[in-house]
Structure 1
Amino acid sequence: MRFKCYHAFLFVLLLAMLSSCVSRKKIVYFQDIEKLSQNSDVVKPSIAFKPNDLLSITVSASDLESVRPFNVIIESRPVVGGSSVFANNTQQPGYLVDSAGDIHFPVLGTIHVEGLTPKELNEYLISELSTYIKDPIVNIRILNFTVSVLGEVTRPGTYTVSGEKISVLEALGLANDLTIYGKRDNVLVIREENGKKSYTYLDLRNSDILDSEYYYLQQNDVVYVEPNQAQRQSSSFNRNSTVYISIASLMLSVLVLLFR
């Protein structure tokens, strides 16, 4: 009896050890970190405007009156309540890039922006506005720049990007990183350009992803983290099986001590 309990204990303990061991090669990012110095001259691509982008374009200058025609402002009327008068609320609407890739700008009329970067559009507007305004300053932002992070991440969802650039690592950071069940070597990035969808798989363990054109995300990109084998298997059995095995091994060890 003691002999059987002892071997059963060893068998269960071995199963627990095997189920809890995870190879470093499967979970550690940038395992070839020493190669990063070779990528220091990688040029960061700039985003380009697409149909359905919502742009915020603000024109300013030292002469405020001269820029007024180029800043479309929606003003709400003052609300009078009792003895109180509430101040006007102002809101600057965005410029929607239509299906033809155009926006309709005050005074200047229709401007084709599809394919232009924020810098290129900024330079164009400054050139055109200089006819009407002395030393104009133009500020451009994409109001609906979003990326979606799905799959085996801690907090999947769609996130709004405040700047002009976001890397796949920053997007994963917004989602609080991959879970332990996410595959680091097979992260899918889906992109739509000119009405056509493209995709690639990125290996987060390899610093070569810094050279990928998908490393910096674009508007409406989707990042999907595939579940690893352990997670796929968990759909057919309880994920807490390793905990149960540990409890069982503890109970067997107690039995061995009792019947020794």
Structure 2
Amino acid sequence: MGVHLRTGNIFFAWLFFLSGCVTQQKLPYLQGQAYSTLSPVNIANARPDYQLQAGDVLSIRVQSVQPVLSDIFNVPSTQTMTAGDPSTLYLAGYPVDEAGTINLPTVGRVKVAGLSVKQAETLVQGKVGAYVRDANVLMKLLSFKITVLGEVRQPGRYFIYNPQATVLEGLGLAGDLTEFGNRENVKLIRQTPKGSQVILLDLTDAKLLQSPYYYLLPNDALYIEPLKARAVRGNASNLGIVFAGVSAIVLLLSFLDIK
């Protein structure tokens, strides 16, 4: 009896182990038959223009032949931010307030909400040009940050310094998915003036490269849910302890029965 029970325990433990394994088919990204080693596959996907909104922070640098005047617009600590210190974000830039405006010295309030960074740069250059001769304005979005949570190796919040950042780059910053991350059901949560949007992305599908959500926007959040195999694998160790305990009890009862 004890031998049969131990055999059954081993069989069930083996089944749990197999159910906790992740198949190879679920791991590769951008699976497809069109790829070739001879020629590249061209996939068209225009990067969306991000429209500035309340809560954004802008870096504005003004250059001119009149540095005494242009330096009025240059926040001194901006150099710290460009050196890669995100903690100085709000000290180094111009925040967009709830009315969608930024407050420039001498110029006053300028509405930038609803404009792309390039459009806002042109607008500010025109405003500053009324006070500074031959002014050249350089504008960057400082508040481009994303959040990556769930089954990744390093979940957290990350600042992006590339205006063309993609979903794959964002996941790369977080150390990529673990083997238990569900690559077929990644949630992208995007903030808009009207509220939050949630879209599901399949990393294993090559059509991801054509998706309008392939490029990240400021304040995006990525959540990678765990596969069922993770829960099974976690329970396997607990079941192993239970099976070992049952086996020990059966052996003890068999020993007493022999006595």
- TM bucket by the smaller chain? 0.7 to 0.9
How far the C-alpha of 1:192 sits from its partner, in A, is 1.3
Summarize the Cα distance change of 1:33–1:71 in structure 2 as closer, same or farther, 3 Å threshold: farther
Whether the 8 Å CA contact 2:101–2:112 is kept in 1: the answer is yes
Q: Find the aligned partners of 2:14 and 2:203 in 1 and give their Cα distance.
A: 31
What is the percent sequence identity of the aligned residues? 35
- 2:196 alignment partner AA: K
Whether the 8 Å CA contact 2:187–2:198 is kept in 1: the answer is yes
2:192 aligned residue: 193
- Of 39, 47, 71 in structure 2, the residue corresponding to residue 44 of structure 1 is 47
Aligned pairs, how many? 226
Whether the 8 Å CA contact 2:21–2:229 is kept in 1: the answer is no
More helix as a share of residues: 2
Query: What secondary structure does 2:214 align onto?
Result: coil
Matched, 1:100 2:104: no
Q: Find the aligned partners of 2:181 and 2:91 in 1 and give their Cα distance.
A: 42
Query: What secondary structure does 2:41 align onto?
Result: helix
Summarize the Cα distance change of 1:10–1:194 in structure 2 as closer, same or farther, 3 Å threshold: closer
2:27 aligned residue: 27
- 1:34 alignment partner AA: A
Q: Find the aligned partners of 2:156 and 2:237 in 1 and give their Cα distance.
A: 24
Q: Find the aligned partners of 1:24 and 1:59 in 2 and give their Cα distance.
A: 53
Q: Find the aligned partners of 1:173 and 1:32 in 2 and give their Cα distance.
A: 21
Whether the 8 Å CA contact 1:71–1:106 is kept in 2: the answer is no
Matched, 1:139 2:138: yes
Whether the 8 Å CA contact 1:46–1:165 is kept in 2: the answer is no
How far the C-alpha of 1:13 sits from its partner, in A, is 9.4
How far the C-alpha of 1:139 sits from its partner, in A, is 1.9
2:73 aligned residue: 70
2:225 aligned residue: 226
Q: Find the aligned partners of 1:147 and 1:10 in 2 and give their Cα distance.
A: 46
How far the C-alpha of 1:218 sits from its partner, in A, is 1.5
TM-score, normalised with respect to structure 2: 0.74
Whether the 8 Å CA contact 1:146–1:159 is kept in 2: the answer is yes
- 2:186 alignment partner AA: V
Q: Find the aligned partners of 1:9 and 1:146 in 2 and give their Cα distance.
A: 50
TM-score, normalised with respect to structure 1: 0.74
Matched, 1:179 2:178: yes
- 5+ residue gaps, structure 2: 78-89, 244-259
Whether the 8 Å CA contact 2:146–2:157 is kept in 1: the answer is yes
- 2:49 alignment partner AA: S
Q: Which shows bigger deviation, 115-124 or 199-208? A: 115-124
For residues 135-187 of structure 1, give each alpha carbon's deviation from its aligned partner in whole angstroms, at most 9, with x where no partner exists.
Answer: 32222222232111001111111111123232111111111000111100000
How far the C-alpha of 1:191 sits from its partner, in A, is 1.0
Q: Find the aligned partners of 1:155 and 1:72 in 2 and give their Cα distance.
A: 33
1:109 aligned residue: 108
Query: What secondary structure does 1:133 align onto?
Result: coil
1:81 aligned residue: none
For residues 65-117 of structure 1, give each alpha carbon's deviation from its aligned partner in whole angstroms, at most 9, with x where no partner exists.
Answer: 2313333448xxxxxxxxxxxxxxxx964211111111111222211111211
- 5+ residue gaps, structure 1: 75-90, 246-260
Query: What secondary structure does 1:34 align onto?
Result: coil
Summarize the Cα distance change of 1:156–1:240 in structure 2 as closer, same or farther, 3 Å threshold: farther
Q: Find the aligned partners of 2:173 and 2:131 in 1 and give their Cα distance.
A: 42
Q: Find the aligned partners of 1:174 and 1:100 in 2 and give their Cα distance.
A: 33
Q: Find the aligned partners of 2:199 and 2:50 in 1 and give their Cα distance.
A: 18
Summarize the Cα distance change of 1:191–1:241 in structure 2 as closer, same or farther, 3 Å threshold: same
